[in-house]
Amino acid sequence: MGVISNNASKEASVLTRANHFIDGTWVPSESTETIEVTDAGRGEVMATVPSGTTADVDKAVAAARAAFDAWAGLDVAERVGYLKLAAEELARRQNAIAAVICREVGTPYATSNVVQVGLPQMTLSATAEIALDYRYTERIYNSLVVKKPIGVVAAITPWNYPLHQLVAKVAPALAAGCTIVAKPSEVAPLNAFALAEIFETIGLPRGVFNLVTGYGTTVGEAMVAHAGVDMVTFTGSTAAGRRIGAVAADTIKRVALELGGKSPLIALDDADPVAVATASAGACYLNSGQTCIALTRLIVPAARKAEYEAIAKAAAESVVVGDPFDPTSVIGPLVSDVQRDRVRAMITSGIDEGATLLTGGVEAPDGLDAGYYVRPTVFTDTTPDMRIVKEEIFGPVLVLQTYETEDEAIALANDSVYGLNAGVYSADVDRAIAVGLRLDSGQVQINDGAFNIHAPFGGVKQSGNGRELGVAGLEDFLETTALQLP
């Protein structure tokens, strides 16, 4: 793949990707227009990719359609064999791809290596095992219930965990027997080219995986509206999810949406404030806060408000912000100037609406004027109607809320249009579980429980529908037929 060295000059480091990956080959776009990909840490152009067209989408869908019957007809063991080969090839390229994502997104290199590339490897391998163990036929009284691949899948993915989100869709879709047309975010598309190269290297049959780059308003809309697409799986903003649902409704295709979040972390009155604040900083500031499941609302007992404020402030100020290739950096820059400006505007709104800024703010961290850096920020003295409490910020901003009773804490946690993730901390695990079961959320972390790629992931309310990962993630790409037997 075209690896870009962080130490190269600007001129030498600009990579040109001129082609889409369609029907197993690299083909020029129908358009000569390109999209610039920016190095988040430097604010410089690092690559260009094609700005695709509806004609490119038509070619990709046709290739996927033509490849579907043969791919779906393979034994599942043969299909998942390609996933295992892809995992092995991804491991061989791990460091190079991690470096690319480090620059595209701004994720510190160590985190990029483990999370941005390590998780996709694990997902490929885990999905292979899940698909092998799955029961695709079941006898229910006089019916034979059969699960079959749904068909051609359009996968539209975001920029914050770009390879992880792409693989979380591609792996189960391929295992189920579907063929794919993928559109990565135009902000961080280079890792998707690396995945296409991996599929090319391992000999994935032509047309099974197709990649078209471009903007959501052109390529994305064309994929969603296309009559040859049977399902759309999308991760991104709730606003974009609404648009996808509306466009897909014309052809009544299945839609799976993983959207925004404004996730609460409840500290019950018996929790250790130091443990809670440490976990909160990690969960809120990971990937510079550009994480859909980030626990951005810390809900604490009113009687211990001052204690939590002091600890949260100290925790935020201990986070090292810097060049993502510096091994001492805990968080790097935001992905773009647009995202940085959005986050700064939200911080300003918090101040204007009367919240108390404990630490952080709109100024760039010292010595980091180039690139898209934002200080880890903590607000207190908030009210539920403030924008910083209600809206997804997608940056390193934590807000504190206080409660008098356990019921009030739960009510505050559930007072959101979102329901993607939540957390509960308590010295009593059973008590934490009981509270967790009362939260309107697709997943709940109990005492900093680790993310599990074998468990279903997804949201409720305006955080979306459908599930990724685990058995549920495979089932999203399967259609059910019941044969009524004599």
Active site amino acids: 258, 292
Amino acid at residue number 65? R
Distance CA 163, CA 83 (A): 15
Closest by Cα among 207, 185, 186 to 196? 207
What is the side-by-side strand order in the sheet with 377-380? 356-359, 377-380, 397-403, 295-301, 263-267, 421-425, 443-446
Beta bridge partners of 295: 263
Phi, psi of 70 (to 5 degrees): -65, -40
Exposure string of 437-465, with b = 16+ CB inside 10 Å and e = fewer, is ebbbbbbbbbbbeeeebeebbbbebbbbb
Any residues with CB less than 8 A from the CB of 430 and at least 6 apart, and which?
A: none
The three-class DSSP label of residue 103 is helix
Amino acid at residue number 196? A
Any residues with CB less than 8 A from the CB of 1 and at least 6 apart, and which?
A: 93, 96, 97, 100, 193, 194, 197
Distance CA 46, CA 59 (A): 28
